[in-house]
Amino acid sequence: MRPPAQNQPSPQKKQRPSPKRITPDYLHNAGLYYLERFAASSAHFRSVMTRKIDRSCRAHTDQSREACLTMLEGVIERFTESGLLNDQTYGATMVASLRRRGLGTRAIGARLQSKGLGPDLIAATLNAHDEEENDGDLAAALRLARRKKIGPFRALPYPPDEQGQKEKTRDMGRLARAGFGYHIARTVLDISATDAENGTIPP
């Protein structure tokens, strides 16, 4: 028989290093490091950096949070002037990416709003993309249907019975969750496989 295992002391968790004090140089360098890894809107960048400031102020209680936030606004202003922060470019990139993934206008709008973009900029960016790329809700919904193999991209048509109606209702729900309205979802699910492949949308 094996001897009973000895209780081994659990390894101590690594302690997070103490937050650094806030200085203009620190905020500039930390901000650059973040933007090298992630695209961000001005509002989202401000939120991320504000959390850094709050952690630092909890560790260094002699710091003035208001003074640190003023430093941050200076960094944001410089990054905006240099083009490192550009909400229009960020919004256009996000819209193109989300359209390629097959998301609808409502879902894209909610995503961009969560990143701090305003409704006017969101609407203008969506309209510009859809007009330039001819890539509105219907095209995106067909793209999603192809990826999910629903509607005209199913291996077999919906059966003309109660089960077929249940399957179609389920697929309408999938399109709705991706941000598409009833009319678009219904059009996509009712279109023939031939029309979907040819990009021919019946009136």
Please give the Cα distance from 67 to 140 (Å, whole number). Answer: 46
Enter the tokens of residue 100.
């390629």
Residues 77 and 53 in one domain: yes
Indicate the average pLDDT of the chain.
90
Q: Do 141 and 117 sit in the same domain of this protein?
A: no
Residue 4 counted as domain residue: no
Spatial contact of 192 and 152, defined as CB atoms under 8 Å apart: yes
- The residue among 93, 96, 145, 92 whose CA lies nearest residue 121 is 92
CA distance 56 to 40: 22
Query: In this structure, is residue 178 part of a structural domain?
Result: yes
What's the confidence (pLDDT) of residue 40? 96
pLDDT of residue 197: 75
Task: State whether 38 and 69 are in the same domain.
Answer: yes
Predicted local distance difference test score (pLDDT) of residue 65? 97
The pTM (predicted TM-score) of the whole model is: 0.76
Residue-wise pLDDT tens digits, 117-156: 999 999 999 999 998 887 789 889 999 999 999 999 998 8
Give residue 35's domain range: 24-82
Q: Assess whether 77 and 102 both reside in one domain.
A: no
What are the pLDDT digits (tens) for 168-202? 999 999 999 999 999 999 999 988 887 777 666 65
Domain contains 16? no
Per the structure, the count of domains in the chain is: 3
Last residue of a domain, one of 45, 63, 82: 82
Residues in the chain: 203
Indicate whether 129 and 141 sit together in one domain. Answer: no
